[in-house]
Structure formats: C-alpha cells, structure tokens
Amino acid sequence: MSQIIAQLKKSLSDTLNIFYPFSGSIKNNLFIHDFDTSVPFSEARVNCSMFEFLKHQETDLLALFVPYRAFCKETDTTIGQVAIQLNIFVCGGIAIGLSCSHKIEDATTSSAFLHSWAATFTGSPEKVLHPNFSEGSTMFPPRDSLPQKHIDTMDNLWFKEGDYVTRRFVFHDKAIATLRAKAKSELVPKPTRIEALTCFIWKHCMAASKGISAGLKKTSMAMLVQAVNLRARMKPRLSDASIGNIFWWAPAAVDLTMEERELHELVDLVNAAIAGFDTDFEKNLQGNEGYLAFSDYFDQLEEMFSAEIKPDVWAFTCWLRFFNDLDFGWGKPFWIGIMGKVGSAFRNLIMFSETPCGIGIEAWVTMDEKEMAILENDPEFLAFASLNPSILLPL
C-alpha cells in the first residue's frame, strides 16, 4: 500500500504540472495566482471493510471521505483549487475523495483532470488529456473586476441558511421508460431520460414546497435551471480539454398560482429552454459584448430576488458518463458517491449519476428537511423512485 500511495502522490504532482492553475490560490475572488501553492493530499483509514460500509447505505457519512464539505463557500482562499483524500478500508479497498473549487472546474474539467491523473498513474501518457487554457478565455475574456452586486446575487441564489438534507433516489430502467412515455408530447415526441427525470422530480419538489408553504404565500413562482455544457454549442466547438467553468443555466419558470402542470408540459418548457442554446444565443455570450449579456441577466436575477416574495429555484445537473470509466489500474469504479451531508446554507440541487453496474440512474436531491419529508413519503413519487436502495446489489 505504501508504494501505491507514493505513486499516487508522484503521478498527482506530474498531473498538476500541466493542470498548473489547480495548485494556485484565489486572489480578489477573480483570479488564480501563485501556482506553487500546492494541493492538499491526506490519507484516512476506514475502520471497516468497503463491503460493510456500502451495506449500511449511510450516504451522509460520505462527507467524511472528502477533504472539505461539499457545496459550501470557501473559507480559505490560500489553498489550491483541488484537494485529495485517500480513504483506505481494512480490506484494502480504496476510495479516492475529491474536493474542487467551482471557480475553475465544472464536471468536464474535473473529468479531464481525473482521467489525466489516472493515465499518468498507470503509465499511459497517450491517454493524458492536455488542458487548453486559451479557448475558454478567448471566448469569455477575463475582466479586472466584477460588480459586487453580481457576486451578492449569486450568493442569494444558491446560499440561504436552513436545515437541508440530501437523499439518494434510484430510478430503475423500467421506471424511466414509463416516465419517458408519460413525458412525450407533440413538441417533444422522444424526451431523453434526463428530460423525463428532471421534470418528474421538479414536479414533485414543487408539490412538496407548496405543501409546506400552504397558506403562507411563500412564493408564487418556481424556477428550474438546467446546467448546459457550452463547449459543444460554441461555434467553433470547444474541445473537452477546454478548462474552466464553461457552462450556463437554461431557465424555465412555472406560475404556482396557476393549475398544476402535467409532466409533458414541463418537459416542453425545459426542452425549449435548452434548445435556446442551439440558436444564436451562445454568440451573445462571447467576447466583450458577452459581459453585457451576463450583466443584464444578473440584473434580472437581482430584481427577482429583491422582491418580497422570492421564487423557488431548483438546479439540475447531470454527471452521467463523466467519471464511471475512471481506471487507476484497479478497474473501473464500483460506485461514484456524489456527496454526504451538505452545509447549512446550500439548497435545492439535484444531481444525476450512474448506478452500480450502469443500470438505471441515481438522483441526489438536496432540499429543505421539511420538504424532503413530504417528497420521500409521496406515493406517486415513490411509485417510480426507490429511496436509497442497496448499493451492493444490481437493480
């Protein structure tokens, strides 16, 4: 084991030589500098076998397997942009925990980094994905400053003190097929698996929120924002080696005072929002003029969140096919755990990932504890979703 640990550290160091901004620190919440800051690498001994841990299905404990708590504001800007924790079970099994800053990494960038580290570790230089740091900054030129109001708006959008919990739901292939059939319409005759699941979960999250806020007039609008990878939508197309946070949100909104929307109607809304990126929209985001478009978007958000009654915002992102084929020489991962217990300020996030054996889709849902209590006891929701089933057995 000591030889494996030494080689993991050596290969990580070699990988950081080409992904050098990852070992830099944040300056003024705008730039990464001092590329020799280094990256934390810690080791943890797990006092049970991997089989025993997975058998108990206590997903909150995943927070112990990563260096930093997931989805929270960084408190230390003097450290590198990634941190690694090597978790070693008594059986000899290994779980690699990664924490990374969303200031420089989206899922595509994290995937490129991890695959390159794995290729370096196994002595496969031909599989190393050499990062391209210029494409993203050419399309989206950096600025010397950003209005504080835009930074505050992002804080208001994602962070709000409360009691939040995360639950893992699994959708079997048969359930997904049924939902896709229910979700089809004249506008979207063949909805994707993610479109059907996204709108099904959003529909029931809205119902849970309304159940808590009944009579309180908590909000009159629900917004969905779907993460869209911009690389494939740029003209010319950006490669997957383009490093950065190169994604944007496709928004869809529903008036909660109106009659409840059917599943296929929500799919129509979300599909149209994502299709907007296939027009000239991405051109409006590029170059120096793109900043004006982003600024206008933030002004609209600021106005929305300055109202007395604020909208509910639900964010969806998909991690399918990003990490399930990582191979450090021991075979592909048995399972990718998304996160453990979240902080007390991050809310309303749904992440999709692979299931063990690649059968079905996992949805990791973070929301208010009281709303979650309604969702996880919703018979219509549970007719399609299984709450934290066994990780060890195929579905």
CA-nearest of 83, 63, 54, 57 to 342 is 63
Same domain, 39 and 182: no
- 3-class DSSP assignment, residue 210: helix
Q: Has 36 been annotated as catalytic?
A: no
CA–CA distance, 204 with 184 (Å, rounded to integer): 18
Residues 358 and 212 both lie in one domain: yes
One domain, residues 134 and 158: no
The verdict on whether 33 is a catalytic residue reads no
Q: What is the pLDDT of residues 264-295, one digit of tens each?
A: 999 999 999 988 877 666 677 777 777 787 78
CA distance 22 to 288: 26
User: Are 158 and 96 in the same domain?
Assistant: no
d(CA 158, CA 245): 16
The DSSP string of 280-309 is: THHHHTSHHHHHHHHHHHHHHHHHHHTSSS
Same domain, 35 and 109: yes
Neighbours of 310 (CB within 10 A): 16
The two structure tokens encoding residue 160: 């709000």
Alpha-carbon distance 100 to 54, whole Å? Answer: 24
Are residue 259 and residue 348 in the same domain, yes or no?
yes
DSSP conformation letters of 233-255: GSSSPPPTTB-S--EEEEEEEEE
Q: Of 14, 240, 299, 327, which is the active-site residue? A: 327
Same domain, 290 and 191: yes
Q: Which of 139, 172, 189 is the last residue of a domain?
A: 139
The reported pLDDT for the residue numbered 178 is 97
Whether 395 maps to a domain, the answer reads: no
- Residue 330 has phi, psi (to 5 degrees) of -110, 10
In a domain, 224, yes or no: yes
Closest CA to 334 of 29, 51, 3: 51
Instruction: Check whether residue 189 and residue 269 sit in a common domain.
Output: yes
Instruction: Report d(CA 327, CA 304) in Å as an integer.
Output: 45
Handedness of CA 207, 57, 106, 177 (dihedral sign): negative
Residue range of the domain that includes 309 = 148-387
Per the domain annotation, does 393 fall within a domain?
no
Query: Looking at this protein, which amino acid is placed at residue 78?
Result: T
> Is residue 157 a part of any domain in this protein?
yes
Spot the catalytic one: 34, 102, 172, 378: 102
- pLDDT per position as a tens digit, 298-334: 888 787 777 777 788 899 999 988 888 899 998 888 8
Enumerate residue ranges in the chain where pLDDT < 70: 213-219, 279-282, 343-345, 393-395
* Domain match, 160 and 296 both: yes
Burial degree of 356 (CB within 10 A; 0-12, 13-18, 19+): buried
Q: Where are the beta strands (DSSP E) in the chain?
A: 25-27, 31-33, 41-46, 82-89, 94-100, 164-171, 221-229, 247-255, 312-318, 349-354, 361-368, 385-387
Residue 126's CATH number: 3.30.559.10
Give the DSSP letter string of 87-114: EEETTS-EEEEEEE-TTT--HHHHHHHH
pTM: 0.91
Sign of the dihedral through C-alpha 10, 12, 15, 20: negative
Crossing angle of helices 2-18/107-121, nearest 10°?
130
Alpha-carbon span 293 to 246, nearest angstrom: 16
Identify whether residues 269 and 350 lie together within a single domain. yes
Assigned token pair, 242: 């383009």
Q: Which domain-ending residue is among 121, 139, 157?
A: 139
Residues 220 and 170 in one domain: yes
Helix (H) or strand (E) holding 182: helix 173-183
Q: How far apart are CA 36 and CA 23, in angstroms?
A: 6
**What pLDDT sits at residue 215?**
53
- Claim to verify: residue 76 and residue 158 sit in the same structural domain: no
Closest CA to 173 of 393, 362, 361: 361
Q: Which of 83, 77, 80 is nearest to 65 (CA)?
A: 83
Contacts of 56 (CB under 8 A, 6+ apart): none
Among 122, 139, 156, give the residue marking a domain's end: 139
Residue 74 located in a structural domain: yes
Q: Domain for residue 47, yes or no? A: yes
- d(C-alpha 318, C-alpha 362), whole Å: 10
Residue 321 lies in a domain: yes
> Domain for residue 392, yes or no?
no
Q: What's the structural domain count of the chain?
A: 2
